[in-house]
Structure 1
Amino acid sequence: MTAVLESVVPLFALVLLGFAAMRFRVLSAEGLAGLNRFVYYFALPVLLFFIFARAPMGALSDWRLVAAYSGASVILFFATLLLGRAVFPGRSLAERTVVAGGAAFSNIAYLGVPLVIGALGPAAGAPAGLILLADNLILITLIMGFLEAASAPSFRPARLALNVLKGFGRNPFMLGMVLGVVWGLLALPLPGPVERFGDLLGGAAGPCALFALGGSLYGRPIAEGRAEVGFATLCKLAVHPALAAVLAFLVLDLPPDLALLVVVIASLPTGANIYVLAAQYDAAVARASTIVLLTTGLAVLSVSGLLIAAS
């Protein structure tokens, strides 16, 4: 228990510190924007590149890893989307899609990768990165598809495919991971100065990402739809990891270390991408913001409790 707390509490303390820096105006909005750009365009892509470039290819070859995590996410997304129609009548498809996305999409990039490396060890980096890649390709595409269908007079798959490809091509995380996989598959050497550069810049990714995450939570609007927010929060922090555990441990029989990794990532709070998509499509923006804020706050307890129970 002590070892888990020593690993996890400092990570969430960085999130709290970032929130406090914005709350007490130690960090300006412009400073936070600059820090986010540093993390998004430089530190995290470099960290992900070196994780994949150095990873044994065997760590990326078990299809059950993606099946367990993405299977749980997709099942939960459709279940909350359908249940939301019955429980919250009158909500549009776009609004229900945002809430369902909030229940199923984890904050893997800014919180998950640093957390699993810190709590489970460096070997967890490559599987976590693979889940991040799959989650963006599968779940975000699914969410965007429903939002496109809800907003366009006539749904055009070609437009959706083009938007997904554009998003993929502009996403530094995705580019860093793909380049890292290619580098690893070709077994290309990493010169000493290049490795040192990667260690320096990639080493800044975790602390800066967590600090920036905390800062970005300050000042978010609070939703009026408390029932929907509570529903999505319960699904994200309790149902998502439970589904992932069933698939990882019982259905797909993953090795215990990988199964635990899948469950921990499923227990993470909602990723900020849901808020970005809600704002882009002007659907349930305040509810998305509150889901991100509330799940992140409660995850301090839920994720720590899960890791303590598993230790």
Structure 2
Amino acid sequence: MGAIFEALAPVFLLIAMGYAIRRYRWIDDAFWPPAERLTYRVLFPALLIASTARANLASDQVWAIAGALFVATLVVAGAALALKPVLGLRNASFTSFFQGAIRPNTYVGMVPAFLFWGDEGLAMLSIGVLAVVPLVNLLSVTVLVIWGDGHEGARTPMKAVREVVRNPLVVACLIGFGLNALDIGLPPVIAPLLDILGRAALPIALMAVGAGLDFPDLLANRWLAGKATVLKLLVLPALAWGLATAFGLDGQAFQVVMLYATLPMSASSYVLAREMGGDAPLAAGMITASTVAAMITMTLWIVLSS
């Protein structure tokens, strides 16, 4: 229990620090967008390439981790769609609810994965990235195309496919696993360079998550945000637990599945909602609700799975 708290506490302290920095304007607001782009396009890809290229993973673990997370996410997506007639939401609001139920913030999982298990833990988490990120992007864009208040130039599912193929995190995972499978490894100069860049990703990404928290939007949408958070942080992890057990996972691999399954809603959901006619304030409230709630639920799920 103590080791789990020691690994998760820095994650949430960095998120709180990011919120405080933006709340009290210690850094100009113009800092955050380029910092997020740098993390997304350079720093986190470097971290993923370095960790996946070095990892020693059994093939049966790879497929079991990917399968448990993929199927659990797909089932929750189906449940969210089934709830649409019951919720009584306008279409644009439903698209944000849908994103809140399935889209994980991978950044929040990388720090505890690295602190718990080092490069091997990050490599296992990368399997989740490859299994879930393309799926949730395609599903979210499709739902927004159908029910969002679209406008000219809004993205389509085919455009989403192209974006997934070019997603820096997905590309980095594929490069790292490719180097691993071919037993090439990382060159002497490149390896330390990637390590330095990767270490910079962890604090910047988490503080950016905190800087994006929006409590007024959470209060305005608290009941709906709560329902989406239950699906994301309780139902999805419970399904992942059952599937991981059925697939024979245990130990570290099982814990990685649970860590990834209980990640809060991705901050990119707000951007997608704003671009494609979703309910952006509702998405902002849901991101805040799930991030705050994850401080409790992530800890509980990891304790139970250990």
| TM-score for both structures, normalised by structure 2 | 0.90
Q: Does 1:134 align with 2:154?
A: no
Q: In the superposition, relative to structure 1, how do residues 60 and 246 fare at CA in structure 2: closer, same or farther (>3 Å)?
A: closer
> Residues 60 and 284 from structure 1, CA distance in 2 versus in 1: closer, same or farther, beyond 3 angstroms?
farther
| Of 255, 258, 270, the match for 1:263 | 258
* Residues 79-90 of structure 1 mapped to structure 2, 5 A cutoff: 79-86=79-86, 88-90=87-89
Q: Which residue in 2 is equivalent to 1:104?
A: 102
3-state DSSP of counterpart to 2:95: helix
CA shift for structure 1 position 61: 6.0
Say how many residue pairs are matched: 302
Q: Counterpart of 1:287?
A: 282
State the match for 1:95 in structure 2: 93
Q: Indicate yes or no: 2:208 matched with 1:209.
A: no
Cα distance between partner residues in 1 of 2:126 and 2:149: 33
- The CA deviation string for residues 235-260 of structure 1, in whole angstroms up to 9 with x for no partner, is 111111111111111x2222332222
User: What letter matches 2:179 in structure 1?
Assistant: W
Distance 1:152 1:274, change over 3 A: closer
Greater shift, 223-232 or 43-52, is seen at 223-232
Task: Specify whether residues 57 and 299 from structure 1 end up closer, same or farther in structure 2 by C-alpha distance, changes over 3 A only.
Answer: closer
Give the match for residue 53 of structure 2: 53
In structure 2, relative to structure 1, the CA distance for the partners of 1:128 and 1:220 (3 Å cut) is: farther
| Pairing 1:234–2:233 present | no
Tell me what 1:277 maps to: 272
> Deviation at 1:90?
4.7
Q: Deviations over 1:55-106 (max 9, x none)?
A: 23536863221111111111011102211321x22522x4323212211221
Q: Is the 8 A contact 1:223 1:286 kept in 2?
A: no
Structure 1 CA distance, aligned partners of 2:171 and 2:15?
26
Query: Percent identity, aligned pairs only?
Result: 27
Mapped partners of 2:156, 2:144: distance in 1: 12
Distance 1:59 1:124, change over 3 A: farther
Aligned CA-pair RMSD: 2.3
Secondary structure, aligned partner of 1:62: helix
Contact 1:72 1:244 in 2 (8 A): yes
**Residue-by-residue CA offset, 1:137-196 (whole Å, 9 max, x unaligned):** 11221221222233599xxxx9522x1233124422122222222222222242222111
Alpha carbons of 1:27 and 1:241: their partners in 2 closer, same or farther (altered >3 Å)? same
CA distance change for structure 1 residues 71 and 179 in 2, over 3 Å: closer, same or farther?
Answer: same
CA drift of 1:220 comes to 7.0
- Once residues 218 and 139 of structure 1 are traced to their aligned partners in structure 2, the CA distance between those partners, rounded to angstroms, is 23
Matched to 1:95, the amino acid is S
Q: Which moved more, 1:177-186 or 1:67-76?
A: 177-186
- In the alignment, which residue of structure 1 is the partner of 2:164? 168
Q: 2:182 matched to 1:186?
A: yes
Distance 1:27-1:59 versus aligned 2 partners, 3 A rule: farther
Secondary structure at the aligned position of 1:254 is classed as coil
Matched-pair contact (CA < 8 Å) for 2:72–2:240: yes
Normalising by the residue count of structure 1, what TM-score does the alignment of the two structures yield? 0.89
Cα pair 1:7 1:119 within 8 Å, conserved = yes
1:119 counterpart letter in structure 2? F
**SS of alignment partner, residue 304 of structure 2:** helix
Structure 2: where are the runs of 5+ without partners? Answer: none
Distance (whole Å) between structure 1 residues aligned to residue 38 and residue 88 of structure 2: 42
| Offset at residue 296 of structure 1 (A) | 0.4
